Chains A and B, each alone.
Chain A
Amino acid sequence: QTVVTQEPSFSVSPGGTVTLTCGLSSGSVSTSNYPNWYQQTPGQTPRTLISNTNTRSSGVPDRFSGSILGNKAALTITGAQADDECDYYCVLYMGSGIVLFGGGTKLTVL
């Protein structure tokens, strides 16, 4: 059974740049998986950051960007801020109306 993989945790310094990745336990991620990225702060519902690989949602700062890096989808945060500290989830389209979330990455800004 295919699993979507994400780093369980990541740390970045304020003002720094971090790239979170989203892969598949078997195979490569491509634009055909329509990678989407969500941000979730504790106690809140998820917020869409990036859709369809690299489209920023309305109101999302341009320090967030999405791409395909090698065989994974990637979310890059440039100039990290304290309020970027939260959980990040990717979700991939697997075909036939099925999508899978990754396990999420807990980002620490310190």
Chain B
Amino acid sequence: EVQLLESGGGLVQPGGSLRLSCAASGFIFSNYAMNWVRQAPGKGLEWVSGISGGGTSTNYADSVKGRFTVSRDNSKNTLNLQMNSLRVEDTAVYYCARDVRTATTHGHFDFWGQGTLVTVSS
């Protein structure tokens, strides 16, 4: 059974940093690209970042480029998102989502975690 479990969310002040993780199980982790998708309270979905199965290719939404860094450790089946220079508008539930592809995403996510809430507030 595919399972994705996010952790690391919490309350942080504007300008601060936070590191999210997603523990994956039930599949061969390195065979799949992975993504972070967020949803602000009461708002729609926003793709944040993606990383290829081997970890060699990464991509970011313009809204987070230069502030967020995605990485993965295929030996530990873990996906990470380092978030720096956080802004109030980064407040959202962050989901990790498995892609159907090994290479970078075309937008088809077949499994989602339950999400972790990040609140950026003073």
Contacts and interface: CB of A to CB of B under 8 A. Distances in A.
B55 interface: no
A101 B47 contact: yes
Interface of B: 37, 44-47, 50, 57-59, 61-62, 95, 100, 104-110, 112-115
Contact of B109 (A1, A48, A103): A48
Given A46-B45, A91-B47, A1 B62 contact: yes
A98 B61 contact: yes
A19 interface: no
A104 to B, nearest CB: 4
B107 A99 contact: yes
Given A48-B108, A104-B45, 11 more contacts: A36-B109, A38-B109, A48-B109, A89-B45, A98-B59, A99-B47, A99-B106, A99-B107, A101-B44, A101-B45, A103-B44
Given A97-B59, A98-B61, A45 B108 contact: no
Contacts, number: 62
* Interface size grouping (class) on chain A: 20 to 34
Given A45-B95, A98-B59, A104 B44 contact: yes
Contact of A34 (B104, B107, B110): B107
Ranked 8 nearest A-B pairs via Cβ: A97-B104, A97-B59, A99-B107, A91-B107, A45-B112, A104-B44, A34-B106, A51-B108
A96 interface: yes
A92 interface: yes
A96 B59 contact: yes
Nearest to B110: A48
Contacts of B113: 45
Nearest to B33: A97
A94 B62 CA distance: 12
